[in-house]
Amino acid sequence: MAAVGSAVGLGNIWRFPYICGKYGGGAFLIVYLCFVFLLGSVLMMSEFVIGRRAQHTPVKAFQTLAPKHKAWGLVGLLGIIASFFILSQYLVISGWTTGYVWHAVSGTLASLGTDSGVISEFFNQFSTSTWDPIVSILIFAVLVLAVILGGVQKGIENVSKVLMPILVGLVLVLCVRSITLPGAVRGVEYLFLPDFAKLSSEGVLAALGQALFSLSVGMGVMLVYGSYIPVNDNIFKTAMWITACDTLIAVLAGLAIFPAVFSCGFEPTGGPGLVFKVLPNVFNTMGGAGTVFASLFFLLLMVAAVTSAISLLEALTAFFSEHTSTSRTVGAVLFFSVTAALGSLFSLSVGPLSHVKLAGLTLFDFVDRLNSIYLPPICALGTIIFFGWVMPEEDVRDEFSNHGTLSIPFYPILRFLARYVAPLALLIVLISGIIS
């Protein structure tokens, strides 16, 4: 459940719809699903296997399993670097979500009515202002730290068990409302009728990045969680469950968003603000109940973001305390302070510092690229090659079969995917995407 909590988050509800909308809808969805099931799930298993086998955090895990080739530790390091930047960027969107909880509860969102222009303008003003997003980031950060330092990590599993299903229930309500809006069918078609002419090689790379981001793989997080998996747990089943839940929630989020996008006069290519612009519009078509739904929705989305942020912080903290003699508490506070400061800078780069460019991109867009199409795919490539070609095969079998106590009929397919399909696909997509 903690790993589901890590996987399910803003990636499903905020990022999936906007990336899917940006890169063409249905065709993107198909490519995304292929990546999730043929590559993402295998990667998740490989991270679980490496973590549980080695009982270490990323760098040492690779080095322990390949003692003669310590350089493999670099793959782990890349994952940790990715976690660091992802957490910084994640805090920005978590801040927006936190801010929207307040705007929903206070009735501000309801007062915007159903004019898409007014609602968009509200988001633009909020996200590009100097202080509101930063204060929201800080409130969110304090909340996460309180959860961690309060020692209630165990509570996270329970929170995930109770609150995540309610979030899914709310997304379902939103789907129904969205699909029954006038003209909504175009949105359903946009999501489910593929038009491959709209798909570019950049879109394929974006689908890969989104699959990795959403499953929390390619950044060491699942490897660290893998090291906590009890010896009797079934790694294959666990990974398949997480993958299925995560994907279902992303598709449902798409189904809640796209019909409303078309019905309310937004553009599917609306960018990172898409969900924050479209959903208030949907809530405001619900009359008086809208405020209640909106408040509950953004609150639960914030909780989903908390469980994901905690997993990122956990990877960083566990790594840090394994390599230095500092306590976990000091590590957590340190990493969180630095990432929150960096997150505030990224937030400013959406607004007052939008003229500051790196490689022609704002800092926020730059780090978004780094986090989706560079660091995680490269770390994923290293991990899968390690898993398929370097790690002793007996160890892999042993982990899947729980020391020979489980039958593993799926193993040959998995092995084939891990050795040939996944590395080749990753290489091709990475090279062609980056060149284009």
Residues forming the site for ligand PHE (CB under 6 A): 6-7, 9-12, 86, 213-214, 216, 219, 221, 308, 311-312
- What's the closest the beta carbon of residue 18 comes to ligand PHE, in angstroms? 13
- What's the closest the beta carbon of residue 9 comes to ligand PHE, in angstroms? 3
Closest to 188 (Cα-Cα) out of 175, 172, 200: 175
Closest to 201 (Cα-Cα) out of 367, 371, 27, 375: 27
- What's the closest the beta carbon of residue 433 comes to ligand PHE, in angstroms? 19
Closest CB to ligand PHE among 80 and 312? 312
Q: Which residues contact residue 195 at a Cβ distance below 8 angstroms, ignoring those fewer than 6 apart? A: 24, 25, 26, 27
- What's the closest the beta carbon of residue 93 comes to ligand PHE, in angstroms? 9
Closest CB to ligand PHE among 11 and 24? 11
Closest CB to ligand PHE among 10 and 235? 10
User: Which residue stretches of 216-358 are H helix?
Assistant: 221-226, 235-263, 274-283, 289-323, 328-348
- 361's enclosing H/E stretch is strand 361-362
How many angstroms separate the CA atoms of 227 and 209, rounded? 24
* Residue position matching structure tokens 């909590």: 5
CB-nearest residue to ligand PHE: 11
Closest CB to ligand PHE among 122 and 140? 140
How many angstroms separate the CA atoms of 336 and 329, rounded? 11
Closest CB to ligand PHE among 47 and 365? 47
- What's the closest the beta carbon of residue 48 comes to ligand PHE, in angstroms? 14
Distances (CA, A) of 41 to 14, 237, 238, 315: 21, 10, 10, 19
Closest CB to ligand PHE among 224 and 235? 224
- What's the closest the beta carbon of residue 47 comes to ligand PHE, in angstroms? 11
